[in-house]
Amino acid sequence: MARPVQRPKLSLLERSYLPAIFGGLLVTIRHFKDMIFGKTQVTMEYPEQNWNDDLPDWYRGAPTLVKDEHGRERCVACQLCEFICPPRAITIKPGEISKDSKWAKVEKFPEQFEIDMARCIYCGLCQEVCPEQAIFLRKDYSITGETRESLVHDKKKLYELGGVMTGLVHKWDEKK
């Protein structure tokens, strides 16, 4: 059942809107004044200030490839990340490790490893699926470029961003 709502009874002055307008003007000028005197906390002024030093450990930035402390590239080109990548940002071209290499038993290495940062959604599935602890999402978030091509990170760029990661499992080392 519809219930009639009692409208508030306004005095003549209130009906002229003038007190409300005056009140509104006071509100806006207070904000103006607080801003002028620097009392208002505004948003971070990004390029000059940033969160870089306060990013949490689990922050998901750009995916990168890492080497371990022996300088071995950890990726074995199993292509699991390529298959799981939802936006299909990863392209891997596997190659064979030469027989006389110290790591010959690993058999494969990525001859080409490209991540298209224009497609990457920073979901971290590649890191999760990697059986070799080779791909990690690091803290770089400001990935920009002037062309689409420049946004495709090749192997060199990926290792540059990833660097060396220590404390990983060394499953290809000789058994002790």
43 binds other proteins (CB under 8 A): yes
Q: How far is the CB of 17 from other proteins (least distance, A)?
A: 9
Cα–Cα distance measured from residue 139 to residue 166, given in angstroms and rounded to the nearest whole number? 17
- The residue (of 21 and 104) whose beta carbon lies closer to other proteins is 21
Total chain residues near other proteins (CB under 8 A): 15
Interface with other proteins, residue 45, by CB under 8 A: yes
Residue 24 CB, shortest distance to other proteins, in Å, is 5
Between β-strands 135-137 and 108-116, what pairing exists: parallel, antiparallel or unpaired?
unpaired
Stretch that binds other proteins, among 4-12, 30-38, 82-90, 163-171 (CB under 8 A): 30-38
Name the H helices within 37-103: 80-84
Give 32 or 83: the residue with its C-beta nearer to other proteins. 32
**Is residue 121 a contact point for other proteins (CB under 8 A)?**
no
- Looking at the Cβ atoms of 31 and 88, the one nearer to other proteins is 31
Nearest alpha carbon to residue 172 among 126, 108, 112, 129? 108
Residue pair 136/66 in contact (Cβ under 8 Å)? The answer is yes
Q: Beta-carbon neighbour count of residue 4 at 10 Å?
A: 5
> Under a CB-based contact definition with an 8 Å cutoff, are residues 109 and 77 in contact?
yes
Residues 101-120 that bind other proteins (CB under 8 A): none
**How far, rounded to the nearest angstrom, does the alpha carbon of residue 141 sit from its chain's CA centroid?**
5
21 binds other proteins (CB under 8 A): yes
Report the residue from 25, 104, 164, 169 that binds other proteins according to the rule CB under 8 A: 25
Cβ atoms of residues 122 and 165 within 8 Å: no
The contact set with other proteins (CB under 8 A) reads 21, 24-25, 27-29, 31-32, 34-36, 40, 42-43, 45
